[in-house]
Amino acid sequence: MTQDLCRMGGYCSTRDRSTGHPGPADARQFCWPDERHGQFAIGELVADWVGLMQRIGKDAGRQGLGGIPTARAEAPIPIHEHVEALTRQIAWTLDVWAQPVRERARLYEDPRGYEHQGEQRTRLGVAVQRDANTLSTHYSVLLALDVVEYYAYETLEQAEADGPDAVVQLVGLHHQARAVLGVTRRREKRDLPCPPKPHGCGQSQLGEVHGSGHHYYDSTAGGWMTGPNIVDCSHCGWWCTSDEYAVYAMTFVPPGIKVAA
């Protein structure tokens, strides 16, 4: 029986570093670390979008017309055209996938409604935030979506994709935004190797990626909260929270494993 591979492809965190092949997938068509990362990345798209908009506004204000002053006869070239296109693609893609998720989850509130041109940016920002919240809060619904027909941003032609495809699209946009904004994730080695089998692989040094803390919506607190960072094995995907790792480092007992009495 052939093992299915993670749908995250080149973005797969458990891919073979020598060949680039994605790691083995679970029932939802992703390796476990990437299934978790998909929800985190979607939640981060709001901050990505805001950061890109700020990048446009800062430089456009400094240049006056958002172009490069030139003495040549050619018209000035907008230096942030690709950034502005990325903000539109993020908003478009979030809206495309929030609609079927909202229908499947029976959420009837429509976050759009930016018909008034003078308020377009403010209302679009609200739509981006609500769409991202919808997709992250109802992430399991997104993963379970069957094939959906939609209009692709790049070509405006009709295309088909399912829930896992949507997750890959959204994670890809998150990585593109991080590259434009110059945000890098710092991975630091931890003191212990991966636990031996059957818990882990015992073959690789554990690492903690700063900024990997998962995001979740806390209705009591009325907003998005950030959980602890994740310590994981890049070889087999074994993972634990940074708090669990602190206990593991002192006791050498992998999380979830009880010491015999």
Look at residue 212 in the predicted model and tell me its pLDDT: 53
- Rounded Cα–Cα distance for residues 126 and 45 (Å): 13
- Rounded Cα–Cα distance for residues 156 and 206 (Å): 44
Residue 45: phi and psi, rounded to 5, are -60, -25
Look at residue 186 in the predicted model and tell me its pLDDT: 63
Look at residue 220 in the predicted model and tell me its pLDDT: 60
Look at residue 44 in the predicted model and tell me its pLDDT: 86
What pLDDT tens digit does each residue of the chain (261 aa) get? 346 888 888 778 777 766 767 878 776 688 877 887 888 889 889 888 988 888 877 433 332 323 333 333 333 444 567 888 899 999 999 999 999 999 998 886 554 444 444 444 446 888 888 999 999 999 999 999 999 999 888 888 899 999 999 999 999 999 888 888 766 556 788 889 999 888 888 888 898 876 555 544 455 655 445 567 778 887 777 888 888 899 999 998 888 776 654
Per-position DSSP letters for 170-222, written without gaps between them: HHHHHHHHHHHHT---EEEEEEEEPPPTTTS-SSSEEEEEET-PPEEEETTTT
CB contact burial 123-144 (16+ within 10 A = b; e otherwise): bbbebbbbbbbbbbbbbebbbe
Look at residue 224 in the predicted model and tell me its pLDDT: 44
Look at residue 11 in the predicted model and tell me its pLDDT: 72
Cβ neighbours, 10 Å, residue 20: 10
Query: Pick from 76, 96, 85, 35: which is nearest to 56 by CA?
Result: 85
